[in-house]
Amino acid sequence: MSNIFPCTKLTINQAASALLNGNLVAFPTETVYGLGADAMNEKAILRIYEVKKRPKNHPIIVHISSEELISKWARKIPNYAFLLARRFWPGPMTLILARTKLAKDFVTGGQDCVGLRIPNHKDAIKLLAGFESLGGLGVAAPSANIFGKLSPTTADAVDEELGEQFNNTDIILDGGMCGVGLESTIIDCRFKQPNVLRSGAVTNEMIEEATGLKLSNDHMSAKIRAPGSLRSHYSPNADIYLDGIPSPGDGFIALRSVKTPKGAIRLAAPEDDLQYARILYHALRQADKRSIRRVFVVLPQLGGISTAIIDRLGRATYRG
């Protein structure tokens, strides 16, 4: 039996109660689908690790519905973090901040910092607000995929990845395909200057413009654990090639303006970089479903969200 439910007032309320009762709820956000659990419930969080087959010392982002909850989870918040929050939340951005006592080791991976995000998706916000109205303080949610694999951008993809391990009290909320399609930008805000730990739709230029600060990249934050920062990550089963010419039967992804080489199987032809980001993971999943072994990708030009596309594809290709 499938645990997928369309997002309605009723199902979202049921999902909020399910979270409070220690169950898992996979839910849509504008970036990718998250696998949520009550951020205060150790047993529920342990199930996230189990279901995702994720090493236990990796931290999980806490999702909240409004800025009012920031100070429950984080302290010593620099002014530039408020500037970022005001500009880009709700949105595809996660801030890493010094934690309060509320953020337990089981959610921070034993580190002294917590990752916070307010997603920009109406159903996600309804779920988070519903959960908070029942007394919850935050929903811990990594991407709803097996560790190291592609993040899901549809409810069906969540079901294919994790459905078998769900109990009948766990829920997958279907809110359609994610609009951004790549995981949030992660910004370490514990030092004088912001440091980008994972690129995303909130770009370096946007961060510098919003804060009036230059980004830093040479301080302690490089040492914190962030699985998205492993060199090999975000991988489909197919091998990805960023150069070379596909043979007949190989998959091919490029902007619409690039012609499909003879015999190659066109998996996606996005009009622009934003659409490229939105459909990339879906297209790579299609390759796996069709047992295509090799996918040739023509990268978009660097800049804007392409930086994140190129980052993810670089990790997907790495076989070291």
Helix count (H) and strand count (E) of the chain? 10, 15
Nearer to ligand TXA, 118 or 310 (CB): 118
Both structure tokens of 314 = 């670089």
**Of residues 227, 236, 246, 251, which one binds ligand TXA by CB under 6 A?**
227
Round to whole Å and give the CA distance between 198 and 205: 14
Does the protein bind Mg ion through residue 94 (CB under 5 A)?
no
Nearer to ligand TXA, 171 or 292 (CB): 171
Does the protein bind ligand TXA through residue 61 (CB under 6 A)?
yes
Round to whole Å and give the CA distance between 165 and 24: 11
Does the protein bind ligand TXA through residue 23 (CB under 6 A)?
no
Helix, strand, coil percentages (3-state) for the chain, rounded to 5, are 35, 20, 45
Rounded to 5°, angle at Cα 34 from 28 and 37: 115
Report in angstroms how near the CB of residue 93 gets to ligand TXA at its nearest: 9
Q: Which stretch binds ligand TXA (CB under 6 A): 18-26, 141-149, 163-171, 262-270?
A: 141-149
Report in angstroms how near the CB of residue 239 gets to ligand TXA at its nearest: 23
**Of residues 40, 48, 58, 252, which one binds ligand TXA by CB under 6 A?**
58
Does the protein bind Mg ion through residue 31 (CB under 5 A)?
no
Q: Which stretch binds ligand TXA (CB under 6 A): 169-177, 224-232, 293-301, 306-314?
A: 224-232
Q: How many CB atoms lie within 10 A of CB 289?
A: 10
**Of residues 143, 184, 185, 286, which one binds Mg ion by CB under 5 A?**
143
Q: What is the DSSP letter of 270?
A: -
Q: Which stretch binds ligand TXA (CB under 6 A): 10-18, 30-38, 152-160, 307-315?
A: 30-38
**Of residues 108, 195, 203, 211, which one binds ligand TXA by CB under 6 A?**
108
Nearer to Mg ion, 143 or 307 (CB): 143
Residue 228, SS3? helix
Contacts of 25 (CB under 8 A, 6+ apart): 15, 18, 19, 36, 37, 127, 139, 170, 171, 172, 173
Does the protein bind ligand TXA through residue 154 (CB under 6 A)?
no
Report in angstroms how near the CB of residue 3 gets to ligand TXA at its nearest: 18
Contact status, residue 194 vs residue 207, Cβ threshold 8 Å: yes
Assess whether the previous peptide bond of 90 is cis (omega < 30° from 0).
Answer: yes
**Of residues 29, 153, 235, 307, which one binds ligand TXA by CB under 6 A?**
29
Alpha helices in the chain (DSSP H): 9-20, 42-52, 70-73, 79-88, 105-108, 122-133, 155-162, 204-211, 273-289, 306-317
Q: How far is CA 21 from CA 170, 222, 248, 291, in A?
A: 10, 36, 52, 39
**Per-residue x/- marks for Mg ion, 103-142, CB under 5 A?**
----------------------------------------
Nearer to Mg ion, 108 or 143 (CB): 143
Does the protein bind ligand TXA through residue 111 (CB under 6 A)?
yes
Round to whole Å and give the CA distance between 88 and 203: 11
Does the protein bind ligand TXA through residue 196 (CB under 6 A)?
no
By CB under 6 A, name the binding residues for ligand TXA.
Answer: 29, 31-32, 34, 58-61, 94, 96, 108, 111, 113-115, 117, 119, 141-143, 183-184, 186, 224-228
Residues that bind Mg ion (CB under 5 A): 143
